[in-house]
Amino acid sequence: MFGNLGQAGKYLGQAARMLVGIPDYDNYVQHMATNHPDQPVMDYEAFFRDRQEARYGGSGKGGFRCC
């Protein structure tokens, strides 16, 4: 029972972070190791910057802009 509860808490935490715009670096690293082992993994700072640019339209790529 507690195993399922812990797993549910993990998924709820991930969902909450996604809703407020905090990317999940650990999932990214796991995804890269599983699906793209031949490609380099960004460090946390590069990953965070990439996710911010994707979300808020940095570097002229479009995305959400408030002004």
7-41 tens-digit pLDDT: 887 788 777 777 766 668 888 899 999 999 999 99
- Residues 27/20, Cβ–Cβ less than 8 Å: no
The Cα–Cα gap between 14 and 22 comes to 9
Opening angle at CA 64, ends 18 and 43, nearest 5: 50
Question: Region 49-61: what's the mean pLDDT?
Answer: 74
Tokens of 48: 């965070």
